[in-house]
Amino acid sequence: MENDIEITSDRREYELARELLDLLSDFNIPSDELLLRFKFSFFKNLFFKKQAEAVKLNNQLIETLRLMNSNQLASAYDEY
């Protein structure tokens, strides 16, 4: 499901991405699923926060990836 959110976002189908995020928010994501929790938070910020706040919050998430030596993944999300 998280891949569907990325795909719909890449296709600029933002309303569908929002609906998928709403649906995913009803699920209890296990704490050991860090990447899934990251993606969920990243896209939730992107679609439900004001632009300035979303940029700030997502930059913090990306910096966390860099601190965990996930530079390639951080760079990929930096493009959003």
Tokens 């990325």, residue?
6
* Alpha-carbon Rg for the chain in angstroms: 12
pLDDT tens, residue by residue, 1-27: 668 888 888 888 888 888 888 877 767
Query: For the whole model, what pTM was predicted?
Result: 0.71
Q: What is the per-residue pLDDT for 26?
A: 67
Q: Which letter does DSSP use for residue 44 in this model?
A: H
Phi, psi of 49 (to 5 degrees): -110, 160
How do the domains of the chain map onto residue ranges? 2-78
| pLDDT value, residue 31 | 59
pLDDT of 57 reads: 96
pLDDT for res 18:
86
